[in-house]
Structure 1
Amino acid sequence: MTADERNAGQRHGRGMRIILTGATGLVGGEVLRQALADPRVGQVTVLTRRTLGIRDPRLRELILADFLDYAPVGDALDADACIWCLGVSQTAVGPQDYLRITLDYPVAAAQALFARNPGMRFCFVSGAGADPQERTAVLYRRIKGRAENRLRAISPNAFSFRPAFIRPPAGRRRPLVVKLYTPLADVMDRFTDGFSVECAQLARCLLDVAGHGTDQPMLDNRTIKNWATPAFRSPHF
């Protein structure tokens, strides 16, 4: 961090306060890394079931036994924004568990957070193909679309992000499915901005919208991928 960056952070006072979930996952881990490297972020509060094992003066962990009940940590929920990266594949759990994790958890959190600070921003990592009409037979598309609708009904400051194939950061272990999918993404990315996005770029976009919001309630893969260009990006927080 340069001296100018430190001074900028000091001029912003306490800095932005972020609540983050899914910090042990691909996207949440990258959001956490970038947030702690940004002098404009004053505090990151991670909601988690277990400690992360990371030491940083701006990092606070809240151990939650139940992601549907925020009464035990109510006093710690004051924040400027929440970035919701907690999720699970529909192939990893049964339908009821998927519904609880994908829909009930973020909705319960949004209700608790907006009750304390109606002006905050809630950034929900959804997924490409989410169906806001909730008519598709594909479980993840239907439930992601339902979650987007429920969150937006709670507050206009709820924003949904629909990344397609997420490319892991360099040096990150790549599961077999990612290794198999990457060559296809390399080809498709020559023709479209809707097929994949770098994890680091998704994290930057999430943090940018968390900082100042946007007039777009839903950001698709193309929007996320091009967020750094003047046509897409607003001033930083």
Structure 2
Amino acid sequence: MKVVVFGGSGLIGDGFLQESLRAEDVTEVVAVARTPLSRSHPKLRQVLHSDFFDFTAITEELSGADACFWGLGVSSVGLSPQDYERITYDYTKAAADTLAVLNPALTFVYVSGGGTDSTEHGRSHWARVKGRTENAVIAIFPNGYALRPGFVQPSHGRRSKTPGYRWGNALAAPIAPMLRLLRLSPVLMTSTAQLGKVALHLARHGYSRHALENRDIVTVATLAGKHG
């Protein structure tokens, strides 16, 4: 299986990369990025690309892909609505359109977030834009999925580059055992490793739902563990 990963320098994208590189049935991982990743692996091929509105220049590198895991994203805090929509929706849609021409049966896994508004009519701008992006991916690909994690804990020894996320992880670490005791962690928490395992499971086996809430993500991660 050939996997394309966007956002590999970020926390969630790194989870996709790590789990894909470890998977025995993944023969090649193509990481598309603007700058080189500080990582090397026999199965990893880095493709540097600057124009995220147009991916025609790298169609040869994307050709033959069986799955695309989209971990590229930004916080809406401090961004204009136009910039947030450009990065969140326009980039994703441009990549999805290109990949759909190359392989309409490709599995596209888009990482969204809890609280996303799939109606596209709610009051929150970021939730509407995320919802619009989810809807586009699922409309383009019969095997399109949106993951809506709650709080994402880093795996594989990684730390987020975003200060807010680092502080959040530091604050959440002491209460994580309590959430598990109260059986709230499947509703509220997941990890980058689980997201990677879930994306691979969706590429191999699919799932009955196309938009997966945090509880679904934890359920599928458990299934992925059983299937290996």
**TM-score of the pair, normalised by structure 1:** 0.85
1:69 aligns with 2:54: yes
What is the number of equivalent residue pairs in this alignment? 220
Higher relative contact order (CA 8 A, sep 6+): 2
Match of 2:102 among 110, 116, 119: 116
Match of 1:221 among 214, 217, 221: 214
Superimposed CA distance per residue, residues 118-137 of structure 1 (whole angstroms, 9 cap, x where no aligned partner):
11110000111111011222
Give 1:1-237 correspondences, 5 Å limit: 16-78=1-63, 79-169=65-155, 171-173=157-159, 175-189=166-180, 190-192=182-184, 193-230=186-223
Preserved CA contact (<8 Å) 1:46 1:60: yes
Preserved CA contact (<8 Å) 2:70 2:111: yes
Greater helix content: 2
Give the deviation of 1:210 after TM superposition. 2.2
**TM-score of the pair, normalised by structure 2:** 0.89
Preserved CA contact (<8 Å) 1:164 1:195: yes
- % identical equivalent positions: 37
Deviation larger for 190-199 or 118-127: 190-199
Residue identity opposite 2:77 in structure 1: T
Q: Which structure: larger Rg?
A: 1
Gaps of 5+ in 2: 161-165
Superimposed CA distance per residue, residues 45-88 of structure 1 (whole angstroms, 9 cap, x where no aligned partner):
01100111322221111111111101111112120010000000
Preserved CA contact (<8 Å) 1:185 1:195: no
SS at match of 2:88: helix
**Structure 1 pair 116/180, CA: closer, same or farther in 2 (3 Å)?**
same
Distance across 2 between alignment mates of 1:167 and 1:196: 7
SS at match of 2:187: coil
Gaps of 5+ in 1: 1-15
